[in-house]
Amino acid sequence: MAYRPLALPVLFLVTSLLGAGLACGTKDPDPAEVPGQPVQPEQPGVTADGAAALGPSCDEDNPIRGAVSGTVDRTLPEAIVQFERQLGWGCAHREWHETRQWDYLAVDPKRSKDFAYVNDRKWMRAKDQEGAPGSGLDFLAMHRAMVRTLRDKFPQQADLFKGWSAVPTSSNESDPLPPGADGGAPTPFYVGMKQAIARLETDPMSFPSDDELGRFIETRHRPTADKPFEQTQDLTSGVHAFIHSRFDDVRSPIHMELFNRNIENETFFRFHGWIDRIWSQWRAARGLDDATDTAYTDMMHHACMHMGLMTWDLARGTCTM
């Protein structure tokens, strides 16, 4: 997709309307269309302690096989990838998002394979679809469960999970962008998203609740019972979907829009670590006490459970194993 600065808001709207394509995991590129990409199954290996290495889950329909070489993506250290796979995070993350994008999957021909997949897995449509009231807190909590658990479990690699100090708006050595769809330079950073980031960093009090904050960050979808495909006209909403799309390198097996594998991608956690800090700043600005906020602790408990963990440890701020 070759987007130009003036066309950006329109393009952003159109792509959003086409389904949840921008929302962190939807593309199924045909490997034949990805020059130079090796197409071969991942070879089963062994871990450092000699155990058989686990393969990814819910990845059967990933058309890109093999390594990330030749792409901008960087894989998390193998011990961390194996930890995620032991907990089945590939399926859990994919199920979480796709059951909340159910209504889009059901009608968008480009998502028909994903819709067949969720039905094959016998996953159920989530009551609160992406962008509906309640989904924002849910979104923040589920990603916090992953970020905090990895930060706690792998303290020597905490830098991988602390998140960006500032969202990179241009390609650079630490955060390279993939080429544009036409093979040329990446497109400029959308001005509405710069406004969103400035608001999130400097004006937390403008968001009245965790849920409003989470919905503003995650998506432009605002479904209602009567209008399941309603979108907000606020062009600064959805920085999460925008960043996932911007860093998406379709030549990679762990590309940023692939729910079951993007959790193995360093950029995913640099970005979600940043979102997690924004949420912490918002809660601090509001003077909220985690210990007495039962909506918060309930949501964190459910998020930990969904990711194969036990419950939320309030004192340590992490899921327990």
**Which residues are at the interface with Cu ion (CB under 5 A)?**
24
| Pairwise CA distance, residues 280 & 309, whole Å | 22
**Rounded to the nearest whole angstrom, what is the least distance from the CB of residue 1 to Cu ion in the complex?**
21
Strands (E), 73-227: none
| Pairwise CA distance, residues 270 & 243, whole Å | 11
Nearer Cβ to Cu ion, position 34 or 138? Answer: 138
**Rounded to the nearest whole angstrom, what is the least distance from the CB of residue 164 to Cu ion in the complex?**
16
Q: Which residue is nearest to Cu ion (CB)?
A: 24
**Rounded to the nearest whole angstrom, what is the least distance from the CB of residue 41 to Cu ion in the complex?**
26
3-state DSSP call for residue 52?
strand
**Rounded to the nearest whole angstrom, what is the least distance from the CB of residue 93 to Cu ion in the complex?**
6
Task: Give yes or no for a contact between 271 and 243, defined as CB atoms under 8 angstroms apart.
Answer: yes
| Pairwise CA distance, residues 218 & 122, whole Å | 25
Strands (E), 176-217: none
**Rounded to the nearest whole angstrom, what is the least distance from the CB of residue 146 to Cu ion in the complex?**
8
Nearer Cβ to Cu ion, position 24 or 126? Answer: 24
Nearer Cβ to Cu ion, position 24 or 243? Answer: 24
Nearer Cβ to Cu ion, position 24 or 235? Answer: 24
User: Which DSSP string do the residues of 83-111 spell out, in sequence order?
Assistant: HHHHTTHHHHHHHHHHHHSHHHHHH-GGG
Nearer Cβ to Cu ion, position 34 or 300? Answer: 300
User: Which DSSP string do the residues of 231-246 spell out, in sequence order?
Assistant: B-S-TT--HHHHHHHH
- Tracing tokens 């062994």 back to the chain, one arrives at 46
Task: Give yes or no for a contact between 97 and 173, defined as CB atoms under 8 angstroms apart.
Answer: no
Helix (H) / strand (E) containing 182: none
Sign of the C-alpha dihedral, residues 295, 298, 299, 300?
Answer: positive
Nearest to residue 142, comparing CAs of 17, 24, 266?
24
**Rounded to the nearest whole angstrom, what is the least distance from the CB of residue 306 to Cu ion in the complex?**
12
Nearer Cβ to Cu ion, position 34 or 215? Answer: 215
Nearer Cβ to Cu ion, position 24 or 118? Answer: 24
**Rounded to the nearest whole angstrom, what is the least distance from the CB of residue 132 to Cu ion in the complex?**
16
| Pairwise CA distance, residues 109 & 19, whole Å | 9
